[in-house]
A and B are shown apart, each in its own frame.
Chain A
């Protein structure tokens, strides 16, 4: 029977194969009284030793096939097996309570699982699954139960499982396993992360895949849309085969562009940069060939904690990003919180209209100590790369001047202390308030650069909250007013010899890219995964054509007509 399951798209691509449903081994653990404690303890220790041998093999295999990073988790597992608290804990439970090893093991591991799951920290919560994984392995040995072996798969398969543990994913032979789907998990769960690093399609969180699928069913995993198709009809299979071929072809094309320039057919070069939230995002930035960081949102350093981050902590984070970008431009935005993005420890006032309230640069110019700490960390880090500082939510020139003069003061202080500071650190503003876009010519005389933050600029210009369903249709990126403001900002920058970028979602959209190129945008900053598709598009366009397109678009009366024009004129490649 044909059936489609909906889940979370965890790793891109499309896979076709017969299903292999991973059964959870039946394990009933009964509490039994035992008389010979010493032999029970020996039995337990033997199970631990066999588990160790097994894990060592998995670890070596992972190390060889997937590298040190991925193998590290098994070092942690091995350490759990050598852990005095666990091993001695189980042994003394067997001795004192005269219970069987299975029961003692389960009690101890449940205790730790509960403890880790209760921790106020996502990382630690994830560790509960490590303990479960290890204790399951020991229990299987104790019970003499055969583990369904993923390693035994010898034909092309998609794996369907409730969840895949680290030891499961390490056993997947990628010659045969073409993709997987799980019942539980999200985009950041272990299985999803592994799927992306192994580059196989995966859908997680389907809730019922193991129930709906039987081993031997024909399965299509669509890792783009998050669908799992069970026993699809031939016509569906055919259309997915086409989709798969197209995806593979396109990916190959894109991959060739990692080290290429973002240059038009008539020789106009632009910078395609990536937006990041934490230094952890850098791997994706580098593997997707971004030419810089166009927006580093520093608020994540301040969120999910009880106090402000120290200068040192911020310095380390900024330095890491600057160093790893090896001299490529890195635009770091100073703290943008307040209003909707709350920091409980700042005790900010509740406002009726937080988007028009006390936030971002307005807050920073009030909380000068906090702001100064961030500026000190930024300028100290500037010695390690190509830093540009960007102030968010600037509405007036006074705000920029005040922030800039604080930067100058901090620089003087640091130099006096003998700290290294880069000679030139550009300071610019995010253009997201219509007043600023309107007098961009006046700003351009004083700032070093503009970066247009379209998400807010659109909602402020059209007075439409994009989170509000009823007015979401008014959130129009190609509204003539937006295009004209963008044009005004870019022209004002160029007139003063400055550069203009864009760091909203719009910068990576395929309808926007030709328009922005035609309007003369210098830097496009987007999510890392959009960089290669955008580069491929830029390289297919001629600057001259896009200029004509932009001229025409700017005269059109509605957002819809602009989008249609771009499409009709063939500027969208895919």
Chain B
């Protein structure tokens, strides 16, 4: 399993635009991708799930990926996060 922590630096948190990109990217892999925030965990392939977390700026989130293509998936998701969401 791959696991990576991030701090969201985007001013508006994870809202529609970045969430869309993130969900699209996660959907390209067969591994299970989850996003954890504030004690809750959701399917990162679900836009509803991701937005329902209400991740705001400065939030600490964890992304966990498990499956046959977890390596590539982590790399791809990591790129999307770093491009516009956080570090």
Contacts and interface: CB of A to CB of B under 8 A. Distances in A.
B50 to A, nearest CB: 10
B24 interface: yes
Contacts of B15: 123-124
B57 A121 contact: no
Interface in A111-155: 112, 115-116, 119-121, 123-124, 127, 130-131
Interface string B17-34: 101100110010000000
Interface stretch (A77-85, A401-409, A413-421): A77-85
B20 A119 contact: no
B17 A72 contact: yes
A124 B11 contact: no
B16 interface: yes
A212 interface: no
A115 B12 contact: no
A72 B16 contact: yes
B45 A73 contact: no
Given A72-B16, A80-B47, A313-B9, A121 B52 contact: no
Contacts of B12: 123
B54 interface: yes
Contacts of A316: 9, 11
A101 B50 CA distance: 24
A127 B17 contact: no
Given A76-B16, A79-B23, A127 B57 contact: no
Interface in A65-81: 72-73, 75-76, 79-80
Nearest to A81: B47
A317 interface: yes
A76 B20 contact: yes
B51 A116 contact: yes
A119 B54 CA distance: 7
Contacts of A58: none
Interface in A199-226: none
B56 A121 contact: yes
Contact of A83 (B9, B17, B46): B46
Nearest to B15: A123
Given A79-B20, A112-B52, A127-B16, A313 B47 contact: no
Interface string A153-170: 000000000000000000
B48 A112 contact: yes
B62 interface: no
A507 to B, nearest CB: 29
A319 to B, nearest CB: 12
A134 B28 CA distance: 23
A124 B20 contact: no
Give the interface centre of A85, A121, A131, A313 by most chain B CB atoms within 10 Å: A85
A121 B51 CA distance: 12
B41 interface: no
B20 A116 contact: no
Contact of B11 (A82, A115, A127, A317): A317
Contact of A85 (B9, B20, B43): B43
B54 A86 contact: no
A131 B49 CA distance: 12
A35 interface: no
A86 B17 contact: no
B56 to A, nearest CB: 7
B58 interface: yes
Contacts of B56: 121
A558 interface: no
B9 A312 contact: yes
Contacts of B46: 83-86
B6 to A, nearest CB: 14
A299 to B, nearest CB: 15
A310 B58 contact: yes
Given A79-B47, A317-B11, A115 B52 contact: yes
A3 to B, nearest CB: 39
B20 to A, nearest CB: 5
Given A76-B16, A84-B43, A127 B49 contact: no
A86 B16 CA distance: 17
A550 to B, nearest CB: 44
Contacts of B20: 72, 75-76, 79
Contacts of A123: 12, 15
A76 B16 CA distance: 7
Contacts of B45: 84
Contacts of A120: 54
A39 B54 CA distance: 36
Contacts of A313: 9, 11, 57-58
B43 A127 contact: no
Interface in B43-84: 43, 45-49, 51-52, 54, 56-58
Contacts of B24: 79
B52 A116 contact: yes
B65 to A, nearest CB: 16
A112 B51 CA distance: 10
A80 B11 contact: no
Contacts of A86: 46, 48
Given A83-B46, A121-B54, A312-B9, 16 more contacts: A72-B16, A73-B16, A75-B20, A76-B16, A76-B19, A79-B24, A79-B47, A80-B47, A83-B47, A85-B43, A116-B51, A116-B52, A121-B56, A123-B15, A130-B16, A316-B9
6 contacts: A72-B17, A79-B24, A79-B47, A83-B49, A112-B52, A313-B11
Q: Which 6 A-B pairs have the closest CB atoms?
A: A85-B46, A79-B47, A76-B16, A85-B48, A83-B46, A85-B49
